[in-house]
Amino acid sequence: MKLILASNNAHKAREFREILEPMGIELVTQGEAGCNFEVDETGETFEANAFLKAEAAMKATGEAAVSDDSGLEVDALGGAPGVHSARYTGRHEDSDADRRALLMKNLAGVEQRAARFVSAICCVFPNGDVINARGTCEGRIAEYEKGENGFGYDCMFIPEGEGRTMAELSAEEKNAISHRGSALREFARLLKEYNNADK
Residues that bind ligand IMP (CB under 6 A): 9, 41, 69-72, 85-86, 96, 117, 150-154, 178, 180
Instruction: Note if 98 is an active site residue.
Output: no
CA distance 17 to 24: 10
Rounded-to-10 torsion of CA 184, 188, 191, 193: -130
CA distances 186 to 42, 48, 61, 177, Å, are 25, 18, 25, 13
Give least dist CB 193 to ligand IMP, A.
25
CA distance 78 to 84: 13
Which of residues 75 and 96 has its CB atom nearest to ligand IMP in the complex? 96
Residue of 178, 98, 86, 112 whose CA lies nearest to 145: 98
Three-state SS for 147? coil
Cβ atoms of 100 and 74 within 8 Å: the answer is no
Which of residues 9 and 89 has its CB atom nearest to ligand IMP in the complex? 9
Which of residues 2 and 92 has its CB atom nearest to ligand IMP in the complex? 92
Which of residues 30 and 178 has its CB atom nearest to ligand IMP in the complex? 178
CA distance 82 to 33: 30
Catalytic residue among 40, 68, 69, 129: 69
Give least dist CB 109 to ligand IMP, A.
23
CA distances 109 to 20, 113, 195, Å, are 40, 10, 51
Which of residues 139 and 150 has its CB atom nearest to ligand IMP in the complex? 150
Residues in Cβ contact with 110 at an 8 Å cutoff, skipping those fewer than 6 apart: 76
Give least dist CB 49 to ligand IMP, A.
6
Give least dist CB 74 to ligand IMP, A.
12
Residues labelled catalytic: 69
